[in-house]
């Protein structure tokens, strides 16, 4: 187990905007462009798979429960990784920093398509994602 550089787990009160819970999803932008040219629905499905895998994998964490309790007020930020290598580099960085996440592999190809963090207070994880732009 890697040392965690993040504070101990805690539920965040809804009114605390400085520590607003957010789930970050990082999708590969190159999947939708030539030469791959995946249909939009297939790319969106990768993000859904990764987000659900992260929520399920960390379902016992208090922040995950608090995030899900927000219902329609949940905040998800979808960012773009340019390619598979940048996505894998991000996964390595997050692992080194002790940030809980899941990487989604599309099978049977076995290629990394998306990465999702479990819900976190935004201010704790945003610095690790600052090099990624919103997916457009």
Residues 40-77 have pLDDT tens digits of 999 999 999 999 999 999 999 999 999 999 999 999 99
pLDDT, residue 42, reads 95
pTM of the predicted model as reported, rounded to 2 decimal places: 0.86
pLDDT, residue 69, reads 95
Both tokens assigned to 110: 């076995």
Both tokens assigned to 76: 């998800």
Exposed/middle/buried for residue 49 (C-beta within 10 Å: 0-12, 13-18, 19+): middle
pLDDT, residue 128, reads 97
pLDDT, residue 135, reads 94
Q: Which CATH architecture has domain 32-134?
A: 3-Layer(aba) Sandwich (3.40)
pLDDT, residue 10, reads 46
Give the CA distances from residue 98 to residues 25, 42, 92, in Å, rounded to whole numbers and listed in that order: 17, 30, 10
* pLDDT-flagged residues of the chain (< 70): 1-18
pLDDT, residue 18, reads 46
What are the domain boundaries of the chain?
Answer: 32-134
């Amino acid at each position: 187990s890697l040392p965690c550089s993040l504070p101990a787990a805690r539920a965040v009160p809804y009114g605390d905007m400085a520590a607003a819970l957010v789930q970050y999803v990082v999708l590969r932008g190159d999947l939708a462009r030539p030469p791959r040219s995946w249909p939009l629905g297939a790319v969106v499905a990768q993000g859904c798979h990764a987000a659900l895998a992260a929520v399920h994998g960390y379902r016992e964490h208090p922040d995950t429960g608090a995030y899900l309790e927000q219902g329609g007020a949940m905040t998800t930020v979808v960012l773009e990784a340019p390619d598979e290598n940048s996505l894998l580099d991000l996964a390595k960085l997050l692992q080194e920093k002790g940030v809980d996440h899941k990487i989604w592999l599309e099978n049977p190809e076995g290629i990394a398509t998306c990465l999702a963090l479990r819900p976190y207070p935004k201010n704790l994880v945003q610095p690790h994602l600052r090099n990624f732009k919103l997916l457009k």
